[in-house]
């Protein structure tokens, strides 16, 4: 199977000096992801998942290692419009707080049109709204007039407007109510199945990752301590840290009804 993402030996340290390595946020991490597949990057706060995700997208420059998207190594020195547009088509990212990526002054319609025009995309704003399950009358709305779930759908529509090969979701559903979260995850899964886009879920929530991914990479203190097929990792964790994560799942953020609702949202969709 073709690998769409191939990350090799990624390293990133912050605050390194001549005398200290600083904080090694990501320490020699490698993984690959096939076309139309979904991977979960999991670990506790501070384990390095966001830094790894930011290196995939090109928001953080690796100290060492490479990211290849569709066989092409992402270069840092490339500038110019066409390189920027091509890089945007390789990977898009959706964050936990869509306010960060949505301009409060723009209507949803103008924000989408702006992306479509800049990328010479053949998609219509109404078509994009339809793809993310939003009524086209909301094209006239501004971000603060929408619910959290609707805003996240708009952020996804903006990302899809450039037809990316990969979509990275950094805790993209963490701030949403359980039922809204399940709907957004079901939407992302449907988009993956219909378009063949590859998804990277960054999450501390194993219930989320367990439902929507094919493989899991478990991070601990910057290292990938375990990688494998989702069902295998969840059923037979090889590393004590993964076991701990699994056993500590019923923490403050964990609700039994989340698992039940996620499961319900996926019945019939994953087969």
Ligand X SMILES: Nc1ncnc2c1ncn2[C@@H]1O[C@H](COP(=O)(O)OP(=O)(O)OP(=O)(O)O)[C@@H](O)[C@H]1O
Q: Does 47 bind ligand X (CB under 6 A)?
A: yes
Segment contacting ligand X (CB under 6 A): 45-53, 73-81, 91-99, 235-243?
Answer: 45-53
The interface with ligand X within residues 192-251 (CB under 6 A) comprises 204
Select the residue whose beta carbon is closest to ligand X and give its number.
Answer: 50
Candidates 2, 17, 20, 45; binder of ligand X (CB under 6 A) is 45
> Based on CB atoms, which residue is closest to ligand X, 59 or 83?
59
For the chain, what is the HEC assignment?
Answer: CCEEEEEEEEEEEECCCCCCCCEEEEEEEEEEEECCCEEEEECCCCCCHHHHHHHHHCCCCCCEEEEEECCEECCCCCCCHHHHHHHHHHEEEECCCHHHCCCCCCCHHHHHHHHHHHCCCCCCHHHHHHHCCCCHHHHHCCHHHCCHHHHHHHHHHHHHCCCCCEEEEECCCCCCCHHHHHHHHHHHHHHHHHHCCEEEEEECCHHHHHHHCCEEEEEECCEEEEEEEHHHHHHCCCCHHHHHHHHCCCCCCCCHHHHHHHHHHHCCCCC
Q: Does 131 bind ligand X (CB under 6 A)?
A: no
Q: Does 43 bind ligand X (CB under 6 A)?
A: yes
The interface with ligand X within residues 50-109 (CB under 6 A) comprises 50-51
CB of residue 266 vs ligand X: minimum separation in angstroms?
A: 24
The interface with ligand X within residues 10-29 (CB under 6 A) comprises 14-15, 23, 25
CB of residue 246 vs ligand X: minimum separation in angstroms?
A: 17
> Based on CB atoms, which residue is closest to ligand X, 49 or 74?
49
CB of residue 53 vs ligand X: minimum separation in angstroms?
A: 8
- Using CB under 6 A, list all residues that contact ligand X: 14-15, 23, 25, 43, 45-51, 204
């Amino acid at each position: 199977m073709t690998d769409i993402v191939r990350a090799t030996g990624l390293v990133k340290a912050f605050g390194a000096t001549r005398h200290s390595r600083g904080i090694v946020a990501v320490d020699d991490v490698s993984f690959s992801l096939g076309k139309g597949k979904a991977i979960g990057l999991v670990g506790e706060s501070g384990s390095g998942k966001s830094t790894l995700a930011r290196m995939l997208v090109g928001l953080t420059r690796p100290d060492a290692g490479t990211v290849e998207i569709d066989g092409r190594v992402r270069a840092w020195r490339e500038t110019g419009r066409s390189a920027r547009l091509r890089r945007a088509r390789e990977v898009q990212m959706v964050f936990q707080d869509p306010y960060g990526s949505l301009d409060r002054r723009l209507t949803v319609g103008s924000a989408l049109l702006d992306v479509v025009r800049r990328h010479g995309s053949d998609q219509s704003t109404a078509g994009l709204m339809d793809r993310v399950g939003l009524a086209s009358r909301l094209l006239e709305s501004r971000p603060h007039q929408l619910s959290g779930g609707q805003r996240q759908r708009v952020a996804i529509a903006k990302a899809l407007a450039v037809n990316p090969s990969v979509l990275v979701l950094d805790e993209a559903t963490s701030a949403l109510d359980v039922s809204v979260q399940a709907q957004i995850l079901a939407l992302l899964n449907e988009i993956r199945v219909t378009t063949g886009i590859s998804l990277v879920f960054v999450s501390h929530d194993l219930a989320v990752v367990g439902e929507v991914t094919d493989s899991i990479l478990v991070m601990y203190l910057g290292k990938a301590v375990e990688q494998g097929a989702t069902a295998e990792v969840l059923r037979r964790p090889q590393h004590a840290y993964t076991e701990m994560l699994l056993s500590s799942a019923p923490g403050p953020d964990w609700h039994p009804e989340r698992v039940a609702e996620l499961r319900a949202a996926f019945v019939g969709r994953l087969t």
